[in-house]
Chains A and B, each alone.
Chain A
Amino acid sequence: MEVFLQTLVAGILKGGLYGLIGIGMTLIMGVMGIINLAHGQLMMVGMYITFVCFHYLGIDPYFALLVSMPALFLLGVAIQKYTLNPLIEVESILPENQVLMTVGIGMVLTEVARFIFSSDYKSVQTSYSSSSFFIGEISFSLALTIAFFIAVAFTLFMFWFLLRTDLGRSIRATAQDKDAALLMGVNAQRITILTFGIGSALVAAAGTLLMPIYYLFPDIGGPFTRKAFVITILGGLGSTVGAIFGGLTLGLAEAFGATYIGMAFDDMIGLVIFILVLIFLPSGFKRITKV
């Protein structure tokens, strides 16, 4: 029982963070209809910013959110404006050239990080990095629990933003039907730029929250990109609630898989679920939740 509950807790806490990673991706995917294969790399950049803040400026990771999120917002805006949007006008045989472009951007970000910080492992050791508290026999990592609640707060904020603000509504409209949104006077270019910025800022938040418990090196982006698209497909494209479900599902699947099948299957479980969902539930949990 203890094993089961501990696994459940581990899965849910991790799932919260995954959800935050997934929301950014799902917004980008919904609005632009492309898969951002540089998502994990953007997170990596956010993590390096957190690291620099902590290590050189002595800023606690939770306050570093105030630096990493705006910085990544600007980076996302720049990427969308100068590399992805111009592609709409480029005549190319492959319709996936925007996706390929994100691959290139991911490589550039990784290598620039390596240039600046070398391949060394970096970590942020705070006083709470390895603290935990117990409820009964079950251990809760302090940093992960805080991260979970901040992630939930961001998610709720995103809901409010998407449902209650004009900009949020425009983003949702564009995600649902680009042509209709254009007719209604939405400036699609501006929306894609802002969405990429917001998506980047959200994944930066996830990176920053992960920093106290995890570590950092330039190649860390790849696995998280993979997780991000798994979460997004699980959740259904463009669906914010779906992204949370997707994140939790992946978190739980990984945790239970690791406990009851084997830790070596950790990554594979996510990928297999991903392929199964692609095939049997093409619109992800969106179909079930309808949000």
Chain B
Amino acid sequence: MMRKLRKITFILFLVGILGVFLASGALAEGIKVGIILPLTGKLAKFGEIEKKSFDLAFEEINAAGGVNGKRIDPIIEDTTGKPDVGRSAIEKLIARDKVVMVGGGYSSSVTWATIAVAQQRKVPFLVNTGSADKITEQGWEYIFRLNPPVSEYPKGFASFLQNVATDVKTVAILHENTLFGQSGSKKFKKQCEKSLGLDVIMKEGYEAGAVDFKPLLVKVKSKKPDLVYMVSYIMDAAMLIRQSKELNLNPKLFVGGAAGFTLPEFQKSTGAAGEYIFSATLWTPSVPYPGAKRYFDKFVARYGTPTEYHGAEAYAAAYVIADALKRAKSLTPRAVRDALAETDMMTVFGPVKFISYGKKTQQNRLPTFLVQWLNGKLETVWPKEVSTAKYVYPFPKWNER
């Protein structure tokens, strides 16, 4: 008898679970937009910032009346930072949730695995972070990219070298061995040698997360370059700068190639050592785009932590998505794609217009800036027209401060 009772409870339990699953299928009806981000795993930190920004933006859009009176329902899927899981996520979004378009896309490997599906299924995908050049070099008509590809990050810095730092003759390039570091540094080296006429005397990669960069830096020191250009993420960036200080390594210019050198954590963990460090960047709260600073403040007010360029990319992408949905003739993937192709708007991340140039198609083209840490604040120093402070050049020597 007891056994029978247990059996019945067990079956009832299973039925109950099934019931909740079925219930979960029949949820609110809005315009479904899929967002693909790494919310767990190693990349979770940035995925989380992007998710918060998407949430913030979609809430604002919905509060302001949504898209022609309809709510946008973002369905945010976790890729865990793995391509095969990313693919599971987009297959689910398209096949089960029947989204009209997809956004997000963080690391290049996951982005690639997912956009291929989007193209094949003819669902538009707006990439806002995946930065491998190849993503928009396939001529795929359903794929759009908001952020510039990795090879274009040092663009803004070049004009500074040509106009201000003209006495720089030799360059040492240090980079992390990641997609970002390897392609960014390669491109910069080419640019130095071909168009800037600089002598690259050293180019060396390192595995992110090293404890001690001194062997590398002492080598740099012995070669006495005028410019040290580093493509590094936050913590490696901070270690490089701190240990340069320890070694009293004094080039004319320390420049970070985007990424790590502009983030608040960099300042926090270098302290005074971070002063006067330059960095190329796509976005900081001080960029001259409408709403950039406001977005930053809103984010801090809401979540209590600062945001950075990944967040701005996501926030801008949400508005581009809303804009395209508004203009779309119908809420079908095809119509949304056509509307996206005609996007021409201003966002917190800059102007967005998908154009074709070189090998790239449907790629947004953005200027890059040069920023410098001055008095603990990140100031835009180049191009001159948009600068918020005057640059300090050359770099004051560590032991003379």
A205 interface residue (CB < 8 Å to B): no
Is the Cβ of A121 less than 8 Å from the Cβ of B234? yes
Is the Cβ of A258 less than 8 Å from the Cβ of B242? no
Is the Cβ of B210 less than 8 Å from the Cβ of A125? no
B374 interface residue (CB < 8 Å to A): no
Q: Which of B42-50, B327-335, B380-388 contacts A (4 or more CB under 8 A)?
A: B42-50
Is the Cβ of A7 less than 8 Å from the Cβ of B45? no
Q: Mark A243-254, 1 if CB is under 8 A from B, else 0.
A: 000000000001
B343 interface residue (CB < 8 Å to A): no
Give the shortest distance, in Å, between B191 (CB) and chain A (any CB): 22
Q: Which of B5-13, B124-132, B148-156, B200-208 contacts A (4 or more CB under 8 A)?
A: B200-208
B342 interface residue (CB < 8 Å to A): no
Q: Which of A94-102, A196-204, A214-222 contacts B (4 or more CB under 8 A)?
A: A214-222
Is the Cβ of B207 less than 8 Å from the Cβ of A139? no
Is the Cβ of B273 less than 8 Å from the Cβ of A130? yes
Which A-chain residue is minimally distant from B236 (CB atoms)?
A: A215
B246 interface residue (CB < 8 Å to A): yes
State the majority secondary structure of interface residues on B.
Answer: helix
Give the shortest distance, in Å, between A219 (CB) and chain B (any CB): 6
Q: Which of A112-120, A150-158, A229-237, A277-285 contacts B (4 or more CB under 8 A)?
A: A112-120
Give the shortest distance, in Å, between B222 (CB) and chain A (any CB): 5
> In the complex, A262→B204 CA distance in Å?
7
Known: A14-B212, A215-B235, A264-B205. A129 touches B271 (CB 8 A): yes
Give the total of B residues in contact with A, Cβ under 8 Å. 38
Which A-chain residue is minimally distant from B247 (CB atoms)?
A: A139
Which A-chain residue is minimally distant from B174 (CB atoms)?
A: A263
Is the Cβ of B219 less than 8 Å from the Cβ of A3? yes
A165 interface residue (CB < 8 Å to B): no
Which residues of B have CB within 8 Å of A114? 44
* Beta-carbon contacts under 8 Å, B203-228 to A: 204-207, 209-216, 218-219, 221-222
Contact pick for B215, options A131, A210, A259, CB 8 Å: A259
B177 interface residue (CB < 8 Å to A): yes
> In the complex, A3→B219 CA distance in Å?
7
> In the complex, A219→B235 CA distance in Å?
13
Known: A123-B268, A262-B204, A266-B207. A130 touches B214 (CB 8 A): no
Is the Cβ of A125 less than 8 Å from the Cβ of B271? yes
Which residues of A have CB within 8 Å of B84? none
Known: A121-B265, A215-B269. 19 other contacts (CB 8 A): A7-B215, A10-B214, A118-B48, A121-B269, A123-B265, A125-B269, A129-B242, A130-B243, A131-B246, A139-B246, A213-B242, A254-B212, A255-B214, A258-B206, A259-B219, A262-B205, A263-B206, A263-B216, A264-B204
Chain A interfacial positions (CB closer than 8 Å to B): 2-3, 6-7, 10-11, 14, 114, 118-121, 123, 125, 129-132, 134, 139, 141, 210, 213-215, 217, 219-220, 223, 254-259, 262-264, 266-267
Chain B interfacial positions (CB closer than 8 Å to A): 42, 44-45, 48, 174, 177, 204-207, 209-216, 218-219, 221-222, 234-235, 238-239, 242-243, 245-248, 265, 268-271, 273
